[in-house]
Chain A
Amino acid sequence: MKILVCVKQVPASNETRLDPVTHTIIREGAEAVLNPFDAFAVEEAVRIKSRCGGSVTAISMGIPAAAAMLRRVIAVGADEAILLTDRAFAGADTLATARTLARAVEKAGLPDLILCGRMATDGDTAQVGPMLAENLGIPHVSDVAAIESVDDSVLVARRLTDDGYARVRVRLPALVTVLREINVPRLPSVSGVLRGEACGVTVWDRAALGLDPAETGLKGSATRVVRTMRPDLSVQTVAIGGRPGEQAARLIECLRARKLIETEGRA
């Protein structure tokens, strides 16, 4: 069974710094980590491999420094890693990212199963997975909480829906995006870390993927960010003081006045 996991490097913290002149995000100096959701995708891939045999390939589009993150993915059980890096990939929206990833997947050979995180914590879009599946012409199942069974041809998954859970069966090849409740990722072993250090990361640029510059990065993106701003979080805060009994009474009064609660009872 050939498994591919898509992993992205994201800033370790969501505390953004804005360039006061250009209003763009200052990325320099910010520590970068594996997108937390992708750690669950990696773990699930490694678990499936240990049950069904086969191989796990990690793939990422990012800056050259993302190679270090890919080595850590090898340290927890992936067999090989591919880094897609090129100045021409910079500024990609989800459409251009998915297009670039799709071309790389085709070059590497379509696997039986592709795993993605539910979303990346920097953009929070949750779009790249389904878009990649569409570009490859394979089905996708998103928000998967458990993979109940999988073999060479079908996968049964439990997915989170708006109303609860649904169990679905999908023919492979398919793409699955995973939730954090799917597993508890393992920590790297010493031998794993050594293997990650020793292992080469395959690097492909735009030319290697045979993509036109107009198809990638900012040029290949359908969307443009025209403005960024800090959200206005200022609210009028009313402090409710006193002893607990008085506080509860006053709060009930205030909430009732704003028609937020309708219960009877002494205030």
Chain B
Amino acid sequence: MNGLIQPGGLWVYCEQGPDGIRPVVFELLGQATRLAAAMKCAVTGVLLGGTGSQASDLAQAGADTVLCVEDASLVAADELRHTGELAALVQQYRPAALLLGATAFGRSLAPRLAARLGTGLTADCTQLDIDPETGLLLQTRPAFGGNLMATIVCPNGRPQMATVRPRVFTAPRRDPSRACRIVTERSAATGSPIELLGRVTLGAEAAIGDADVLVAVGQGIGSAENIALAERLAKKLGGALAASRPMVDSGLVPYVRQVGQTGKTVSPRLYIALGISGAIQHMAGVAAQTIVAVNTDPDAPIFQYAHYAVRCDCGAFLREMLDRIEEGE
């Protein structure tokens, strides 16, 4: 056992994507520093398939220690291999809690790992706290398509495991003076029954989960021409096009752009909803800082969620917006 990592610590799984460590990891480290202060423990970032040179980034965002398994083949997103590596590390170092990003891969890996360790897991948390009396991690998440918030604890299983939605928390300001210790472990180097045959990376504009601005269209959009205008507005604002489910069902917009309970959860800074009624299943996927609703019906439920309510026809609104924004170029 390496003396640098004490049992009872708070761990953050440092998932890597094609462009390096995923942004959600830094958001988690920010939360972890806050929680670790209450737990009176240290923060460890676990980096599978990474190198020590990536550690300084993690340190500047709050990691006290980076636990690194230096095996380049682990960069591949393989649930079985990552479960094996993480389970071995957890059994060796006994952390009190483990946070993972609720990315597609994180949400596939975390339940597998929790089942192997026989511990509890709370998916898609939007809030984390420490209970001052019990010291337990209070994990709050939406359920029933966002109709209800539930706070969940894991009294006995360890580590207490939670996945956290990307962009729910903001990444901490980097502190360049912070350094961390690096602990390197050898990989178990097991094979995997899953083989990657190929990838299709969708254009950045289709990655609605990462967009700062989303212009979303619903059944009130009126015409395919207006969808094209909405996409043009999205691009002008540096964002992407999104849609409600009926637009996807009718084949007008591809599924990767669907927002909602059965689509993606998005957390842009700005969400402009055009001709969307605001059904609970749609709003379950919208965790935006600012919502603009454009709708002709004054009683549309979307107005209850909107910071800016624009009672207007979508087509007219789009043309006026584009007119003004494009004139400035």
Contacts and interface: CB of A to CB of B under 8 A. Distances in A.
Given A130-B109, A222-B157, 4 more contacts: A98-B111, A223-B120, A235-B305, A267-B324
Contact of B324 (A93, A139, A162, A265): A265
Q: How large is the interface on B (under 10, 10 to 19, 20 to 34, 35 or more residues)?
A: 35 or more
A164 B200 contact: yes
Contacts of A180: 255, 262
B2 interface: no
Nearest to B293: A237
Given A130-B79, A238-B307, A266 B202 contact: no
Interface of B: 17-18, 22, 77, 79-80, 83, 103-105, 107-112, 114-116, 118-124, 138, 142-157, 192-202, 206-207, 209, 213, 236-238, 255-256, 261-262, 269-270, 280-281, 284, 290-292, 303-313, 316-317, 319-321, 323-329
A168 interface: yes
B281 A130 contact: no
Nearest to B142: A231
Chain A interface residue bracket vs B:
35 or more
A36 B150 contact: no
A89 interface: no
A259 to B, nearest CB: 9
Given A140-B112, A180-B262, A263-B237, A169 B198 contact: no
Chain A contact residues, majority secondary structure: mixed
A164 B201 contact: yes
Given A248-B321, A252-B325, A263-B236, A141 B194 contact: yes
User: Which of B22, B108, B328 counts the most A-chain CB atoms under 10 A from its CB?
Assistant: B108
A180 B18 CA distance: 26
Contacts of B290: 255, 258, 260
Contacts of A248: 317, 320-321, 323-324
Interface in A186-227: 221-227
B134 to A, nearest CB: 10
A124 B304 CA distance: 23
Interface stretch (A14-22, A41-49, A66-74, A105-113): A14-22
Contact of A224 (B155, B316, B319): B155
